Chain A
Amino acid sequence: MHELSPLLAFVQDQLQIAALLFMAVVYALKIRWIFRFPAARDRQERTGDPATSARKGAAYSLVNVAMPWAMPSTRQHLLFYTQFVIFHLAVAASITMSFLIPYAPETIASSAAVRLLQALFAAAVLVGLWRLIRRVRDPYIRAISTPDDYFSLSLLIVWFGFSILAAPNQPQEGEWPLMVYFVLTAFFLVYVPFSKISHYLYYPFARWYLGKTLGYRGVYPVKRGGETPA
């Protein structure tokens, strides 16, 4: 068994924990900040289909992400939706991997697991590059982009790239891929709360409130009447 250098042992353990704690503290502050604002509420009698409710609307809204057919914007852009799925699965996989490598390396030790992860990360790199090109070339997207948008996307592309190299977890072949991967992960965790990447913190709240309102008003779950004649 290869013994890790003290620096690598530090960056994949204590540094990650410190970064996670920092992120958790900032997130807690953000949530506290959001809840300082008064929530609008529906005092009126409910409207629409009596079979719907605020609770059903909220549930529908929250799982909307897994229903590409639910919105014209996703069902008309299935390729974009597929990219979204790949990209976010890769984020979840890489974050999970950052825990598994130091604490349960055997779970992803098989060559099949490594290949699967590498394929996912490689696909995410391609998706990320495609999205970066789109952000630069599409005038609509360029017009709404901020420096944070470009940086966050670039950061993730690089992070996915190093995730490919880190997935085999072979420090005996050279520690630098793991070192860079974990340093990037720590930076990612610290940077996320200040960037657009923190959207996943807002997602459940934003969708819950929208779903609650639209469910109470009988709009959610959306009753589709079709886009073209049957």
Chain B
Amino acid sequence: MTQRTTMQATRCWKAERVIERLHEKVTRQMVLSLEACVHCGLCTDQCHYVLANPGDVTYAPAYKAGSIRKFFKAHIDWTGRLFPWWVGARGLYTDAELEDLKDTVFGKCTNCRRCALNCPMGVDQATFNRMARGLLTYVGVMPEGVAVAAKDQWEIGNQMGVLPEDYLETLQWMEEELQSEYGDPTISIPLDKPDCDVVYAINPREIKYDPRTVAEAAAIFHFAGENWTMTRVGWDMTNFGLFNGDDELGAAIAGRVYDEVERLGGKKLVLSECGHGYRSTRCEGPNWGRRTTPFPMESSVVTMLRYIKEGRIQVDKTKNTEPVTYHDSCNNARSCGFFEEPRELLSYVVTDFREMYPNRAENYCCTGGGGAMSMSEYSQRRLKSAKIKAEQLQATGAKIVVTSCHNCVDGLFDLIRHYKLGMEVRLLVNLVAKALVAPAGPLPAPPLA
């Protein structure tokens, strides 16, 4: 009996399931990406992990892709099945191999998609890396933090396990803060109000760690005279399905948000600032759930920009005079084409904007993407690879880095502290709220539809 036959006979249960699942999950686009790589290596120095870890070949995008490609070739591609050694095909057999794969697809790649945009062949590695994460998640092989967040999202309805009581209490607290701050008892954070023009969904991090952002958004909605509401359930617009590759989770979480908007008869879903949340709810949710949504969706950045342009809120940019730079979230920029509106909004609310280079779709990841902030076992690796981002930030000379992503806020905050950059991290809503000029008279009426 050959070695391979022996190993096939002893393939572990999880590897069997992974291979079965591979056949179900692989799409035409993934097959093309898995087949088309010519091993030219042009992607190598486009990855922040490689740049920060010179000499370690295991970080190279094509090498990481190879760890997926080899079992794809062994189990699906016919040249790999006929001549495995010749084309580098190798099947999955053991639990140790699954652990190695986990280390690569979760711990050495943030799915930032920068390599895809730098591949001459159009290999979209982030897409099949996510698929590989999903295969492992299917058999329970994933970082503990990812498992916990996904479980919370399945069971409690949000990725940070915020209980309904805490959610409602925090909103009430913020409402009282706002009323006190502006001396205006009419400011409110409405809940489950039917037939609103805007239904606002947020990142649970806002409730748990940064409730001021909810208050700031509420102030902006209030002064814009918006007919808006938040919801009691289905309020988490983030989605660990994007990170762990579980399309079913992705569809369920996005579906809960969509269902609430439909139930309340909301006319538009506005999504708080979160790169992966925006991508998941705005761009991927309908695909994971194989459904269309009867209402439009937009980022709160677009909403705030529109309020300013329509004169519904007044801002004074001289309230934000410190030098500011902008970090493009990978999910926003490379998967949703969302990069001009934040810059336009900044032009209204800050006096000293300094571009970061490279930027937009060519920007480097904050290194906290792809769920990396929840994988503490890879923290040292993440912070080491953040050197590239740190150098980018430092070169701007800015005192404040603004981003439109709560996940990036955490990633940037961590690396700024690690590399002692002395910068602050802000969301756009923070700067708009700071620049906000509360009207002295009655609130403006919303424009007629």
Contacts and interface: CB of A to CB of B under 8 A. Distances in A.
Interface of A: 33-35, 37-45, 47-49, 52, 61, 64-65, 71-74, 76-77, 80, 84, 138-141, 143-149, 194, 196, 199, 202-203, 205-207, 209-211, 213-214, 217-219, 222-229
Contacts of A45: 296-297
Contacts of A147: 85-88
Interface of B: 26-33, 35-39, 41-46, 50, 55, 57-58, 60, 62-63, 66, 78-79, 82-83, 85-88, 116-124, 282-287, 290-293, 296-297, 333-340, 355, 357-362
B282 A224 contact: no
A45 B258 CA distance: 14
A73 B169 CA distance: 50
Contact of B335 (A71, A84, A219): A219
Given A38-B27, A42-B287, A194-B79, A47 B120 contact: no
5 contacts: A34-B35, A40-B287, A72-B118, A211-B122, A228-B357
A218 B337 contact: yes
Contacts of A199: 36-38, 121
A30 to B, nearest CB: 9
Given A224-B362, A227-B358, A49 B340 contact: yes
Given A139-B55, A147-B85, A202-B121, A217 B335 contact: yes
Given A47-B337, A217-B337, A225-B355, 19 more contacts: A39-B27, A40-B28, A41-B287, A43-B291, A74-B42, A74-B120, A140-B63, A144-B62, A146-B86, A194-B82, A202-B32, A202-B121, A209-B32, A210-B122, A211-B122, A213-B29, A219-B117, A223-B361, A228-B357
Nearest to A146: B88
Nearest to B288: A43
B39 A210 contact: no
Contact of A73 (B82, B85, B119): B119
Contacts of B79: 194
A48 B338 contact: yes
A44 to B, nearest CB: 4
Contacts of B119: 73
Nearest to B44: A140
A227 B31 contact: no
A41 B63 CA distance: 28
B237 to A, nearest CB: 14
A196 B291 contact: no
A131 B283 CA distance: 40
A143 B333 CA distance: 31
A71 B120 contact: yes
A206 B60 contact: no
A140 B57 contact: yes
A212 B210 CA distance: 38
Contacts of A34: 28, 31-32, 35
Contacts of A213: 29, 124
B360 A143 contact: no
Given A43-B291, A72-B46, A223 B29 contact: no
B118 A71 contact: yes
A141 B45 CA distance: 12
B340 A47 contact: no
A27 B6 CA distance: 34
A149 B362 contact: no
Nearest to B287: A43
A83 B200 CA distance: 53
A218 B57 CA distance: 33
B94 to A, nearest CB: 22
A144 B39 contact: yes
Contact of B60 (A37, A44, A73, A140): A140
Contacts of B35: 34, 202, 206
A37 B286 contact: no
A143 B64 CA distance: 11
B320 to A, nearest CB: 21
A123 B34 CA distance: 31
Contacts of A207: 121-122
Contacts of B286: 43-44
A48 B60 CA distance: 30
Contact of B117 (A37, A71, A225): A71
Given A38-B28, A49-B340, A229-B355, A141 B41 contact: yes
B405 to A, nearest CB: 15
Across the A-B interface, give the 7 residue pairs with the lowest CB-CB distance, nearest first.
A48-B337, A218-B337, A146-B88, A73-B118, A207-B122, A202-B36, A143-B57
A226 B362 CA distance: 9
B39 A145 contact: yes
B29 A47 contact: no
B29 A209 contact: yes
Contacts of A42: 283, 287
Most chain-A CB neighbours within 10 Å: which of B57, B82, B122, B287?
B122
Nearest to A197: B38
Nearest to A143: B57
B283 to A, nearest CB: 5
A68 to B, nearest CB: 10
B118 A47 contact: no
A61 B338 CA distance: 19
Contacts of B38: 196, 199
Contact of A143 (B63, B116, B123, B361): B63
